[in-house]
Chains A and B, each alone.
Chain A
Amino acid sequence: MGLMILEIITLVTLGFLNNFNMNIKITHSWLLEYLDTKATPQQIQEYLSLCGPSVERIEKTKDDWVYDIEITSNRIDTVSVIGIAREAGAILNRFNIPAKFKPPQIKIPVDHPILPFVIKDPKNLCHRLMAVVMDNVLIGNSPEYIKSRLLAAGIRSLNNLVDITNYVMLEVGHPTHVFDYDRIKTNNFLIRQAKKGEKMTTLDEKTYELFEHDIVIDDGTGKIIDFPGIMGTANSIVTNKTKRIVFFIESNDSVAIRKSSMTHGIRTIAASINEKYPDINLVKTALYRGIELFEKNAHAQIASKVFDIYPNPIKDKKIKVSYQYLNDRIGVEIAKKQIDNILVDLGFRIYEKDNKLEITVPSFRSHDVSHPEDIVEEIARIYGYHNIPTQLPPMVYIKQPEETEALFQYQQVIKTFLKHQGCFETMNYSATSQEILDAFGLESKKYLEITNTISQEIKYLRQSLIPSLVKNIKDNEGYQSSLKLFEIAKTYIPTEKELPIENFKIACAVNTSFADLKGILDGLIKELNINEVLIEPAVNKFFTFSMAGEMKIGNKVIGTFGKISVKHTTKLQLKSDVFVFELDFKTLIATARFMPVYKKFSQFANINLDLTIEHNKPYNEIVSIAKKKSPHLIEISLKDQYKNNLTLHFVFGANDRNLTEKEAMEELEIIKKLL
């Protein structure tokens, strides 16, 4: 069994959920033992990658070439020299390079029942078990070609016995294992489930505590002597004193292997293959090939019968498909003869009748090929994706829901606006930590929680963007003194039975001043051409009592704003005050318009007047009094503020004539008295 821990390549950033692919490295000379071709390594790399397994790299060694090949999880039949040779035999011919796959020719071993040995699998935990005992082994070094091929594959050569198991795995594509026969005193192999808490020490001298879902081999006395399909144990592996061996191969339950391998973090090549449903018939090929090599390289002799426990042999799988269907799905007319040849080269058996094919799937593809679509893939890839023409799909009109369209359009408008107010858009993780919730006095039990989080930083799904933005300000304190940040993202409010309510929020945080924040908020409302918003004082857990407000349209609350309470900022050790608004996106844009309501402007001159008053009423009350009392007031705005004084700017005018300054002054006088 391979000693090397394999790196699992999950190309997460690539997009589509990937399927735990792995890479193998095999040499060119080894490949040629099963493939007749004059193709260069470069040609093999290029053409295999286009039509079959992806050859990611080729590397020149002293007298050979090494292929580094990505094996997708469905094509575990190609995780071997023989598997790659078969693919190359089908592919290279299409590029006018003669190539022929040479299937392995292995002699059938003969039973010699001399030494006692018993295998039991009462619960059928393995699909197939094969084993043989061999006597008179001479342990030593492997021949040079084995050493160098293993080295190229990234596997260290240990001794001829262990090397053979790895060599066979790479050549045939099924993991194998060798035991020291004499170290298993009972001559008994019992396959069973582990007991919870049971301990086991693997061959790399690490001890694991097992679970009931783990499957182990017991010597009949309760002692664990192997972790089958994943890694051998220290108490049964061959040593330099080994005289007799058990060569053992089992076809495991792939789901159990995956679970055990991942929970214990033992990622051997064997586990990576066994979790992907390797061909059950390879158990036999691997055993026979191994016996041949033990005889040749270790002078071993068969000393038992050749065990084969295979209670439920797999049946042939058949798929029916028409030539027309294949051509329709690929979009090209491919000749019948060519389709037939491709299938035969790939190891399928075909029977043609009335333009229809009945295809028998070879056992090494039985887990991967089951639908007519799978046959489409086989034909299309070998025919060559590069040979298929291109066109855009026919143009049709699909209506985008108005709500969705508005959501994205206004996000763009708002982001652009805020950017030009000097705000920076941040994107934070959708989950936050216990620490942050605590800092804001929020109860984590009201939050949806990630039960298997990889970091405590991202444990609870956000219900407000405010804590994250405040934390952003904190994290940036050392880099820039004045900060204006915003985020548009979803929040997740749990419901009783359904998925949480996912609502977009928009939040903005500044560490400069309340007036800066309010200016951005006012500007945003103007940018969206929302007419009447109401501002009212509000109580909000995030904000300082005296500096908190909510914004309403009619009686609908759009959101809140204020100064983050010192209670929270001190917990986060913030140096400066932070001012934040957070609005509900949907409510905000409900009355927004791209184009403001146009009002005819007056043809007559307006009168501009200023008035300074004491600030002893809320500003919105001042505005509302002025508007109510002055029929000719067109506009009122804040011009200046000094200590407790406000300088207001008034514009008066009439639609039908030039207003006199006297009239305007009179109206201003009325307003002044009321303020």
Chain B
Amino acid sequence: MDEIEKIQHDASSEINNVSDLSNLEELKIKYLGRSGEINKLLQNIKTVSNEHKKEYGQKINQLKLHLTQLFNNQHQKLITKSETAQTIDITMPGNKTLKGSMHPISIAITEISSIFSKIGFIRMSYPEVEWEYLAFDALNMPKTHAARDDFETTFLSGKPHEKYGKMILTPHTSSGQIREMWRLKKPPIRMIDIGKCYRPNWDATHTPMFHQFEGLCVDKNINITHLKGTLDYFSQSYFGPKTKTRLRPHHFQFTEPSFEVDVTCTACNGTGVGCKICKSGWLELGGTGIVHPNVLKEGNINPDEYSGWAFGFGIERVIMMKYGIDDIRNYYTGDIRFLKQF
């Protein structure tokens, strides 16, 4: 009997003095475990006389209930204590992880190629150093065309080609149109050609190197409706679902008809009200048009059987329109103050 009381006494004080949960768990095993004190007492029941057996059993049961109660209380107490004891400044920064960046041009290229791949346009890459013939003649730009002179085209020291003329840095991705026609030999063609282009201009709004993405679609019965549909799809995917486009008459040698595409201004949502960025709600996206029959012929495609459209847009320009990054000169200086923002 004394033993029961002793255990009760010891256990109670031990439980109350326990200060953490793992010690409490140990204590629980010590008393209530398979070979704990309670079970030991129960084993002793055979030494108790028959008349006291019942009473002995009841006492042990009471003790067990009592201790369980104490354990539960103490458990609750300790949990409450540990939940409130630990206070830290949760506004402190965590351990640093590494963070570099991808160039905004790379980010935009990923976005743009993904948008076009969904409608079956494959991304291609064509030479940046090109023959005059592919960059101009094949695109219906005669030898006398103003774009071909020293002030607009970057010429290289490489030996001229007998057939294709001087070596140049391509002023547009449009030379990729001919190369894709040559590669596939016959339509259908669905291409998005993204690459670096070069023109001898260097001022606040021009860099001598820039990026373009060139779309080309050639198939049977392609007409203006397909061009408009694609431009709407791209503009809404890239600039946002509410974006509208419009075509305005324009002139390029390698398309006929030629258009300039405007999209509703991303800054004022096309309202134009008090907008410092757009001209009356619209922003110019770039040039596009129906592929000129002479260009198809250069690509060995019969213009009576097939027709197509093409566009060439500046990546720096679409980034500016979408994200407002307008200081184009920072793009190619490698300035860490620019790069680390992305």
Is the CB–CB distance between B155 and A450 below 8 Å?
yes
Q: How far is the CA of A388 from the CA of B155 in the complex (A)?
A: 41
Tally A-B pairs: CB < 8 A.
303
B201 touches A10 (CB 8 A): yes
Give the interface residue-count category, chain A: 35 or more
From residue 402 to 441 of chain A, which have CB atoms closer than 8 A to chain B?
404, 407-408, 412, 415-416, 418-430
Give residues of chain A (442-460) contacting chain B, Cβ–Cβ below 8 Å: 448-455, 458
Give complex CA distance A483, B290 in Å.
48
B224 touches A380 (CB 8 A): yes
Q: By the criterion CB–CB under 8 Å, are B223 and A331 in contact?
A: yes
Tally of contact residues, B, Cβ under 8 A: 112
Q: Is the CB of B130 within 8 A of A398?
A: no
Which residue of chain B lies nearest to A254 when distances are taken between CB atoms in the complex?
A: B144
Given A50-B248, A381-B249: A427 and B317 interface contact (C-beta under 8 Å) = no
How close is B122's CB to chain A, nearest CB, in angstroms? 4
**A499 partner residues in chain B, CB cutoff 8 A:** 127, 129-131, 158, 167
Contact of A16 among B130, B188, B287 (CB under 8 A): B287
B15 CB to nearest A CB, Å: 39
The yes or no answer to B106 lying at the interface (CB within 8 A) is yes
Q: Is A49 an interface residue (CB 8 A)?
A: yes
Cβ B156 vs Cβ A385 within 8 A: no
Q: Is the CB of A331 within 8 A of B339?
A: no
Q: How far is the CA of A399 from the CA of B206 in the complex (A)?
A: 36
Pair B101/A424 contact, Cβ less than 8 Å = yes
In the bound complex, residues from chain A placing their C-beta under 8 Å from that of B196 are: 430, 490
User: Could you give, for residues 204-223 of chain B, a 1 whenever the CB lies within 8 Å of some chain A CB and a 0 otherwise?
Assistant: 01101110100001010111
Interface centre among B151, B198, B293 (most CB of A within 10 A): B151
A13 touching B334, Cβ below 8 Å: no
A393 within 8 A of B: yes
Q: Does A12 contact B (CB under 8 A)?
A: yes
Segment among A255-263, A525-533, A566-574 that sits at the interface with chain B: A255-263
A163→B124 CA distance, assembly (Å): 55
Q: A674 to B310, alpha carbons, bound, how many Å?
A: 68
Does the CB pair A453–B200 fall under 8 Å?
A: yes
Closest approach, in angstroms, between the C-beta of A528 and any C-beta of chain B?
17
List residues 305-342 of chain B with CB under 8 A from any CB of chain A.
Answer: 307, 311-314, 316-317, 320, 328, 331-337, 339-340
Contact A262 B101 (CB under 8 A): no
Q: Tell whether A296 is near chain B: CB-to-CB under 8 Å.
A: no
Per-residue interface assignment for chain A, residues 479 to 523, with 1 indicating a CB less than 8 Å from any chain B CB and 0 otherwise: 110011100001010101101101000000000000000000000
- B259 proximal to A (CB < 8 A): yes
Q: Complex: how many Å from CA A448 to CA B206?
A: 23
Using CB atoms, name the residue of chain A closest to B223.
A331
Residues of A548-572 whose CB lies within 8 A of B:
none
CA distance A496 to B228 in the complex (A): 45
Instruction: Name the interface residues of B115-161: CB closer than 8 Å to any CB of A.
Output: 119-120, 122-125, 127-131, 141, 144, 146-147, 149-152, 154-159, 161
Separation of A502 and B257 alpha carbons in the complex (Å): 34
Q: Are B100 and A426 in contact (CB under 8 A)?
A: no
Q: Contact flags (1/0) for B155-192 with A, using CB distance below 8 Å?
A: 11111010000010101101000000000100011110
B102 is contacted by which of A75, A397, A404, A415 (Cβ under 8 Å)?
A: A415
For the complex of A and B, 8 pairs with smallest distance between CB atoms: A16-B287, A377-B257, A15-B286, A472-B334, A422-B98, A331-B223, A331-B225, A400-B122
A-B contact pairs, 28 of them (CB 8 A): A15-B172, A15-B212, A19-B147, A50-B246, A73-B146, A254-B144, A374-B256, A377-B256, A377-B258, A380-B224, A381-B257, A385-B228, A389-B228, A391-B226, A398-B188, A419-B102, A422-B99, A422-B100, A426-B334, A427-B103, A427-B105, A427-B332, A430-B169, A448-B156, A461-B129, A476-B336, A479-B336, A500-B158
Which B residues lie at the A interface, using CB under 8 A? 98-103, 105-106, 110, 113, 119-120, 122-125, 127-131, 141, 144, 146-147, 149-152, 154-159, 161, 167, 169, 171-172, 174, 184, 188-191, 196, 198-202, 205-206, 208-210, 212, 217, 219, 221-226, 228-230, 232-233, 246-253, 255-260, 279, 284-288, 290, 292-293, 307, 311-314, 316-317, 320, 328, 331-337, 339-340
Binding site for B on A (CB under 8 A): 10-20, 49-54, 56-57, 72-75, 254-255, 258-259, 262, 275, 328-332, 371, 373-374, 376-377, 380-381, 385-386, 388-400, 404, 407-408, 412, 415-416, 418-430, 448-455, 458, 461, 468-469, 471-472, 475-476, 479-480, 483-485, 490, 492, 494, 496-497, 499-500, 502
